[in-house]
Amino acid sequence: MPIGELVFANVVDKRIYEAQGREGQAGIYVLSLPGRTLPFVSYRAWKVPTGVVAEELRLTAPSGRLAYRWGPEARRMRGAMDLTIEEDTLTEAVLSEVGTYVASFIIEDQILGEVEVPVFLQTAPAQLPKHVEDGLKRSDVIWVGPRPARNGDRPETIPAWFAYKGGRIYLISQRERGPEEQTVPGLPDQPELRVITRLKGRDTALDSFTANVRILSEGPEYEQALATLADRRRSRVGPPEDSIARWRDTAIVAELTPIVSL
């Protein structure tokens, strides 16, 4: 016998939710694949007997793979004769597929309702908010590394030189650690990195944000990124072609798409 009833549920991009409320068009957006989603709201209206229950949300990808799980979270229900409204803004989902997902709403391990949620690949903006742009344009290095773990551990970050162009950050990471070039922690395996910009000439953080990672390996984008990086390299010795040839053999080229509010 079901423990309760899901009267209404929706999964809505936060921007749409703030404009249209719970009736807004269902949808989640990512800026790259795989990539962290833009913030979205999970709205639920429950009729569940009074008490504390374990609530959970699962997103199943078009391929049938469990792509994201929120909870179980302890929530107090008002009772079967009243509506218990829950609204959570979720920011931790990393998805690798676009298309129609199934959102399953679960109480005490029982699926009480499901809705279809489209996931869209949104074109990342070519220009970031002014304070982020300023932090990237006015500094020679950023601090970069994996995102902090949920257990509070702070993973290694390093000061890394970079190139910034059209809303993207480009990095070189030497495959084997050595004195010739920087090796960025988390590359190439992490789908996202933490980026910290600093005030020029000061050891003071200006901004911190997560960025989706895409490894470039061939094609026009790869060639353009190499040229941009070679032009940016301030300590380069010799013509840019020499640096590019060395990077092809020894380094990874990563494109970072910042996830920031416009």
Q: What is the mean pLDDT of residues 211-230?
A: 94
Distance CA 188, CA 70 (A): 26
Q: What is the pLDDT of residue 123?
A: 86
User: Encoding tokens for residue 232?
Assistant: 């940016």
Domains and CATH numbers, the chain: 5-121 (2.60.40.10), 130-259 (2.30.110.10)
**Predicted pLDDT at 124:** 82
Distance between CA atoms of 56 and 38, rounded to whole angstroms?
Answer: 20
Q: What is the pLDDT of residues 189-214, one digit of tens each?
A: 988 999 998 766 555 557 889 999 99
Residue 252's pLDDT is 96
How would residue 135 be classed by pLDDT, with cut points 50, 70 and 90? confident
What token pair was written down for 195?
């980026």
Max CA separation in the chain (angstroms): 76
Rounded distance, CA 33 to CA 128, Å?
Answer: 19
For the chain, the first-to-last Cα distance in angstroms comes to 46
Amino acid found at 131: H
pLDDT band at residue 152, thresholds of 50, 70 and 90?
low
Looking at residue 134, what is its pLDDT? 86
72-81 residue pLDDT tens: 999 999 999 9
Residue 77 near residue 48, CB atoms below 8 Å? yes
CA-based nearest residue to 222, from 179, 177, 172: 172
57-111: per-residue pLDDT in tens?
A: 999 999 999 999 999 999 999 999 999 999 999 998 999 999 999 999 999 999 9
| Strands 99-107 and 28-30, bridge-based pairing | unpaired
Q: What percent of the chain has pLDDT over 70?
A: 94
State the pairing for strand pair 163-165/94-95.
unpaired
Whether residue 46 is predicted with pLDDT greater than 90 in this model: the reply is yes
Spatial separation of the C-alpha atoms in residues 34 and 190, rounded to whole Å: 10
Its pTM stands at: 0.77
**pLDDT in the model for residue 180:** 85
Query: Which run of H or of E encompasses 93?
Result: none
Please report which residue ranges of 62-202 form alpha helices under DSSP H: 130-137
Decide: 179 and 256 in contact? Cβ < 8 Å. no
Convert the pLDDT of each residue in 230-245 to its tens digit.
Answer: 998 877 677 889 999 9
Distance CA 67, CA 86 (A): 22
Q: Do 26 and 118 touch, CB atoms closer than 8 A?
A: yes
Contact assessment for residue 102 and residue 114, using Cβ atoms and an 8 Å cutoff: yes
Q: Which residues contact 224 (CB under 8 A, 6 or more apart)?
A: none
CB contact set of 57 (below 8 Å; sequence gap of 6+): 42, 68, 69, 70, 71, 90, 103, 104, 105, 106
